[in-house]
Amino acid sequence: MPDIDRKKCDILILSADLGTGHHQVSSAIKKVVSQKQQSLKVGIYNYFEYIYPPINKTIKFGYAQLLRYFSFGYNWF
């Protein structure tokens, strides 16, 4: 997942390292904002990695298991 550098961002997009959908949406938002306002610095950050890095792997594993064993439930949301 794209990461912010440690410098100031004008816009910070909090995302998750779960599947490609999160990456695609956060990158698309960054692209549109950057095209509309070139002076703004946009950063993308994985909030699970920031809050507590060890939980990032656990959440990714849980998400993968959910999709594997409960994929029919995905359409409920």
pLDDT digits (tens, 9 = 90+) for 28-68: 999 999 999 999 999 998 888 888 888 888 888 988 888 88
Give dist(CA 14, CA 25) in Å, integer.
Answer: 11
Question: What local confidence, expressed as pLDDT, does residue 67 receive?
Answer: 82
Q: pTM for this structure?
A: 0.68
